[in-house]
Amino acid sequence: MSSPSPSASSILVSQILTYSCRFAGPILLFIGTIGCSLNLTVFCQKTLRRSPCANYF
């Protein structure tokens, strides 16, 4: 008896997951780094730290 071969849709889903993890990871890392840098910029300025509009929840 032969083992069942994976269907085309399961191969496609596997490839989509592989490529999304490969390309989305660095993009999310880059966006997170920019966000962290902007937070540091805001909270290192004395005038923005004292402003009630700049409160960080």
57 residues of the chain, pLDDT tens digit each: 455 667 888 888 888 988 888 888 899 999 999 999 988 887 787 777 677 776 654
**What pLDDT does 49 receive?**
67
Q: Tell me, yes or no, whether 57 lies in a domain.
A: no
Q: Tell me, yes or no, whether 32 lies in a domain.
A: yes
Q: What is the DSSP letter of 1?
A: -
| CA 28 – CA 50 distance, rounded (Å) | 31
Q: Tell me, yes or no, whether 26 lies in a domain.
A: yes
Question: Total domain count for the chain?
Answer: 1
**What pLDDT does 54 receive?**
66
**What pLDDT does 56 receive?**
59
The pTM (predicted TM-score) of the whole model is 0.56
Q: Are 39 and 45 in contact (CB under 8 A)?
A: no
Q: Tell me, yes or no, whether 42 lies in a domain.
A: yes
Q: What is the DSSP letter of 45?
A: S
Q: Tell me, yes or no, whether 27 lies in a domain.
A: yes
Q: Which amino acid is at 38?
A: L
Which domain does 17 fall in, by range? 10-48
Q: Tell me, yes or no, whether 54 lies in a domain.
A: no
Q: Which two tokens stand for residue 19?
A: 């490529």
Q: Tell me, yes or no, whether 21 lies in a domain.
A: yes
**What pLDDT does 1 receive?**
46
Q: Tell me, yes or no, whether 44 lies in a domain.
A: yes
Alpha-helix residue ranges (DSSP H) falling in 1-57: 8-44, 46-50
